[in-house]
Amino acid sequence: MQGLWGFHCYVKAATDIVEPDALLNQLPHKAFRLTHEWVRYYDPKEMAVAVSQMHEVLLCRQSLLTLVAVGEAALLRLNEHLVKTKGVDKVSKNKKLLEWAFSLVRKSSMASREATARLPITCGDLDNARRLRNCIVHSNSRYDPAYLATTIQNGWVAPQYENDSQAAVKEGRPIFLGTARFEYFLHSHLEFLHILHNTIQRQQFGHLDGYHYGNEGKPIEWYRILSGRSDVNM
């Protein structure tokens, strides 16, 4: 997720300063290959202008998709490990994984007072991101009725919604997200996974001391994060 933030900021900075005309020599001329057999004709300048007008929204949508997918994969790995080592019930699918993870942290003492007080909202943020992701993937980036109907409501999680979402769903409006909103969702995911990891370490494996990136003060090794490699000597 730290790598996702780095890539997002880099691409946003690059697209903020580039002019559409400066890209034309780097784009396919008049047609691009759509499949292994077909080409599709297009106007490179028209595309560049259209993307430049929407670049932050498009980038934030894609970043949110990746964020939710990475979060789901992390929960899946945690659950699979606990199935093997502690015999917990196997859980799959994003909503069920979230409900399972929320139940683990509900009474956790492995967070600061501020993070603990914020936890019901933080959980609601993850569920909100999940529902936004589903709208982006399944409804052509427009709000649909499932955005409201599939909210996790268990009496503890504080459901979260985008502004004016009732009307947005009714009218099928497009989903517009900015970088500040994406970063907010990123903060909630990282904070939640941090609390969840420390909670599992204490409850299941008896580790009393939680891990804290801020206290560690270790600089980010960007090449390792972005490449996925662990054998790199910087």
DSSP letters, 59-85, are HHHHHHHHHHHHHHHHHHHHHHHHHHH
Calculate the alpha carbon distances from 94 to 68, 106, 131, 137 in Å. 9, 18, 10, 14
Number of domains in the chain: 1
Domain membership of residue 210 (yes or no) is yes
Please give the model's pTM, rounded to 2 decimal places. Answer: 0.91
Distance of alpha carbon 229 from alpha carbon 91, whole angstroms = 29
The closest alpha carbon to 122, from 211, 210, 185, 213, belongs to: 185
Per-residue pLDDT of the chain (234 residues; tens, 9 = 90+): 989 999 999 999 999 999 999 999 999 999 999 999 999 999 999 999 999 999 999 999 999 999 999 999 999 999 999 999 999 999 988 899 999 999 999 988 888 999 999 999 999 999 999 999 999 999 999 999 999 999 999 999 999 999 999 999 999 999 999 999 999 999 999 999 999 999 999 888 877 665 666 666 778 888 888 887 766 543
Domain membership of residue 125 (yes or no) is yes
Domain hosting residue 110, numbered range: 63-215
Q: Please give the structure tokens belonging to residue 60.
A: 């934030």
Domain membership of residue 55 (yes or no) is no
Distance of alpha carbon 94 from alpha carbon 158, whole angstroms = 18
Domain membership of residue 180 (yes or no) is yes
Domain membership of residue 70 (yes or no) is yes
Domain membership of residue 115 (yes or no) is yes
Q: How far is CA 181 from the centre of its chain?
A: 11
Distance of alpha carbon 100 from alpha carbon 91, whole angstroms = 8
Distance of alpha carbon 30 from alpha carbon 42, whole angstroms = 5
The closest alpha carbon to 73, from 232, 228, 230, 231, belongs to: 228
